[in-house]
A = this chain, B = another copy of it.
Amino acid sequence: MRYCSDCGEPVRLMVPEGDNRPRFVCPSCSTIHYQNPNIVTGCIVEAEDKILLCKRAIEPRYGLWTLPAGFMENNETAQQGAARETMEEAGAETSVGELYSCFNLPHISQVYLLFRATLAQPGFSAGSESLQVALFSENEIPWNELAFPVIEETLKLYFSDQKKGDFKAHSGTIKRISSDTREYHTEINY
């Protein structure tokens, strides 16, 4: 951020009075511009005892597999966003159920909210952001071709719960250790 989005004057990075961290502040109109984490919302679609994955047609991680998910929009619920992303990326109409995983990605200031879901209508097809959409059982999952650690961790928790016959909400944190390598530290709290 270089300019005030309210008045167009250059902003300064400073700790506002009564605050304890630097914010972009406009010296001209006094607006404080807060920047906060974004929510990524998506679905674990269960069909025919399998899970629906999308092969990414966009960067980052082009050609790798992911759960349908994307940035939550203003004025929608996380569940509506999860269903919307699943329709956009996988052409699938879903009934969104329980919140299954809540993962912090503090290095990129994102929180993933992934919901269990079922197909409300049969059928699915690759949207413009996907090369392919398919259903996978646990031993068919392309574990070495998953796009993001948060997807791998969620699927591992899911299949572990499935074996126990007891699904519960999980939370944890995945932090990138180095910006040069794709190395992460994962902490599952629950």
Which A residues fall within an 8 A CB radius of B?
1-11, 18, 21, 33-39, 71-80, 97-99, 102, 104, 106-107, 109, 111, 113, 128, 168-169, 171, 173, 189-190
CB distance from A126 to the nearest CB of B (A): 16
A152 to B77, CA, bound (A): 19
Contact yes or no, B36 A71, CB < 8 A: yes
With A35-B74, A39-B39, A111-B72 as contacts: A99 and B98 at CB distance below 8 Å: no
Contact yes or no, B39 A36, CB < 8 A: yes
Copies of this polypeptide in the complex: 2
CB distance from A123 to the nearest CB of B (A): 21
A80 to B37, CA, bound (A): 13
A3 to B38, CA, bound (A): 22
Taking CB atoms, residues of chain B closer than 8 Å to A98 are 169, 171, 189-190
A20 to B35, CA, bound (A): 24
Give 27 A-B contacts (CB < 8 Å), ordered by A residue: A2-B8, A3-B7, A5-B5, A5-B11, A5-B33, A21-B73, A35-B74, A36-B38, A36-B39, A36-B74, A37-B72, A37-B73, A37-B74, A72-B111, A75-B109, A77-B104, A78-B104, A78-B171, A79-B104, A97-B190, A98-B171, A98-B189, A99-B171, A99-B190, A111-B113, A168-B169, A169-B169
